[in-house]
Structure 1
Amino acid sequence: MNAYLIALSAIVKREALRFLHQRERFIAALVRPLVWLLVFAAGFRAALGLSIIPPYQTYITYETYIIPGLCGMILLFNGMQSSLSLVYDREMGSMRLLLTAPLPRGWLLFAKLCGSTAISILQVYTFLAVAWAFDIMPDSPWGYLAVLPALLISGLMLGALGLALSSLIRQLENFAGVMNFVIFPMFFLSSALYPLWKMAESSPLLRDICALNPFTHGVELIRFALYLKFEPIALIWVLASTAVFMGLAIWGYDPARGLTRRKG
């Protein structure tokens, strides 16, 4: 057990040091959601009127509605960015050295996942602090504490998705296209920017696709937690998706069956 904890601590520390040396990554992670919050929301406010829907008890502004979705955006983009570093490490050879450690490969990937998720949560709380400065906040300050488990679980799910994708990509140049193919459909086909009932008014099929999107359930888990409420269906979806994505990542990095062996 001591060896497992040492490996976990070392990998998380490595992720933290890499993050500290890439400050532009921290700024970029905040610019994207802030542009949506301060610019796009102003234009969408009139077009997307919102009714009273759970977990809200009264009518809310559009800026208030999209805060959980923008938190999910940070987790999603950072999860993909972290998996990009895995592709780079694999090309440089350091990833192969890591995976030769005498520990289960799943634990090494989980340690990598924990490091990237911790950084994502730090970025989300920084964004929530900026939103609070613009007077956009949950009803109770306890919501900032209650949302932590939801951020952790959703961050692990999206980070595991990034790990699974990185196991399928052989060259760094191909990663940008795969990211765009995954990130934008997941983000826009979700409840991050508009409620599902609004989507159903124009296309019931798109509404059903959004309802099956794991990112939607991650966003709803965050949304309900911010308002001190629990959404069990969203939790089940997120946990199940995390298990599937992590299983795919472990399979992909298995040299006996995955594409890592072909790369070598």
Structure 2
Amino acid sequence: MTRYLPAFRAITTREALRFLHQRERFLAALVRPLVWLLVFAAGFRAALGLSITPPYQTYITYETYIVPGLCGMILLFNGMQSSLSLVYDREMGSMRLLLTAPLPRWFLLFSKLCAATFIGVLQCYTFLAVAWAFDITLPPLGYLTALPALILAGLMLGALGLALSSFIKQLENFAGVMNFVIFPMFFLSSALYPLWKMAESSELLHDICAANPFTHAVELIRFALYVDIAPWPLLWTVLATLVFMALAIWGYDPARGLVRRKG
């Protein structure tokens, strides 16, 4: 533990300082969901009807419905942004120094993941505070019970970003891959519309949305904000986190790169 704790503290502190020095990143993380909340929601409100479905006990406004999905959006973009920094660090050489530290590879990656998740959760609570200022209120206890769900969702999406960054070797290629991952995951989910609404138009799209890990992360956050537990989203989010983290550890395995060079 005398080796692990200082390393964990150093990695998380470095990520926090990097985030503090990138004020534009913080503003961008808030602008994206606020545009959806204040602009797009006004148009979608009339087009999309909502029924009383769990965890809601009554009819709600469309703005209230999309708040959990926009929290998921923040975590998704933050996870990908943190992974982009990994690709940059690898090109600059600092990633190589980190991974050559006399510590398990999984611990180093997990430390990066925890730091990114902390930043993402902080952004989510800032967004929830802004939403509250615009009279979008949630159960008071929900702000507390949502914390474990936000952390788990952040870990899952951050692990996905880690896995992607392990297979992308050039910074220029990462932006394209992000677009092929972020937008399909976000739009093919329950972030902006309930799954039953998607089933009305296409059963195939409904099944794709139901299989999307991001959907389960959003539903986990949604239920937690209303002081409830969604067992299946919880289970699938945990499983997806383990799978993505295993892929990231395998992708950053130096032995795999050695075998590939020999081949």
Question: Is TM-score (shorter-chain normalized) higher than 0.5?
Answer: yes
Residue 243 of structure 1: aligned partner: 242
Residue 211 of structure 2: aligned partner: 212
Give runs of aligned pairs for residues 65-214 of structure 1, distance below 5 A.
65-138=65-138, 140-214=139-213
1:259, distance to aligned residue in structure 2 (A): 8.2
For 2:260 and 2:208, locate their aligned partners in 1 and report how far apart those are by CA, in whole Å. Answer: 35
For 2:86 and 2:227, locate their aligned partners in 1 and report how far apart those are by CA, in whole Å. Answer: 36
1:137, distance to aligned residue in structure 2 (A): 1.8
Provide Cα deviations, 1:40-88, integer angstroms capped at 9, x if missing partner. 0000001001000000000000000000000000000000000000000
**Aligned amino acid, residue 152 of structure 1:** I
Structure 2 unaligned residues grouped into runs of 5+: none
For 2:125 and 2:258, locate their aligned partners in 1 and report how far apart those are by CA, in whole Å. Answer: 36
1:248, distance to aligned residue in structure 2 (A): 0.3
Query: Is the CA contact 1:168–1:259 (under 8 Å) kept in the aligned structure 2?
Result: no
Structure 1 unaligned residues grouped into runs of 5+: none
Query: Is the CA contact 1:251–1:258 (under 8 Å) kept in the aligned structure 2?
Result: no
**Aligned amino acid, residue 69 of structure 1:** G
For 1:148 and 1:128, locate their aligned partners in 2 and report how far apart those are by CA, in whole Å. Answer: 12
Provide Cα deviations, 1:135-190, integer angstroms capped at 9, x if missing partner. 1021x211000000000000000000000000000100000000000000000000
Provide Cα deviations, 1:185-239, integer angstroms capped at 9, x if missing partner. 0000000000000000000111011000000000000000000000010010000
Runs of 4+ residues over 2 Å off in structure 1: 258-262
Residue 39 of structure 2: aligned partner: 39
Residue 226 of structure 1: aligned partner: 225
Question: TM-score, normalization: structure 2?
Answer: 0.98
For 2:258 and 2:135, locate their aligned partners in 1 and report how far apart those are by CA, in whole Å. Answer: 48
Q: Per the alignment, do residues 258 and 153 of structure 1 end up closer, same or farther by CA in structure 2, a change over 3 Å counting?
A: farther
**Aligned amino acid, residue 230 of structure 2:** E
**Aligned amino acid, residue 216 of structure 1:** T
1:2, distance to aligned residue in structure 2 (A): 1.9
**Aligned amino acid, residue 159 of structure 1:** G
For 1:202 and 1:249, locate their aligned partners in 2 and report how far apart those are by CA, in whole Å. Answer: 36
1:258, distance to aligned residue in structure 2 (A): 4.2
1:118, distance to aligned residue in structure 2 (A): 0.2
Paired residues in the alignment total 261
Query: Is the CA contact 1:15–1:115 (under 8 Å) kept in the aligned structure 2?
Result: yes
For 1:89 and 1:178, locate their aligned partners in 2 and report how far apart those are by CA, in whole Å. Answer: 18
For 1:158 and 1:122, locate their aligned partners in 2 and report how far apart those are by CA, in whole Å. Answer: 15
For 1:259 and 1:234, locate their aligned partners in 2 and report how far apart those are by CA, in whole Å. Answer: 38
For 1:18 and 1:259, locate their aligned partners in 2 and report how far apart those are by CA, in whole Å. Answer: 31
Q: Per the alignment, do residues 142 and 91 of structure 1 end up closer, same or farther by CA in structure 2, a change over 3 Å counting?
A: same
**Aligned amino acid, residue 17 of structure 2:** L
Provide Cα deviations, 1:116-147, integer angstroms capped at 9, x if missing partner. 00000000000000000011021x21100000
Query: Is the CA contact 1:253–1:259 (under 8 Å) kept in the aligned structure 2?
Result: no
Residue 251 of structure 2: aligned partner: 252
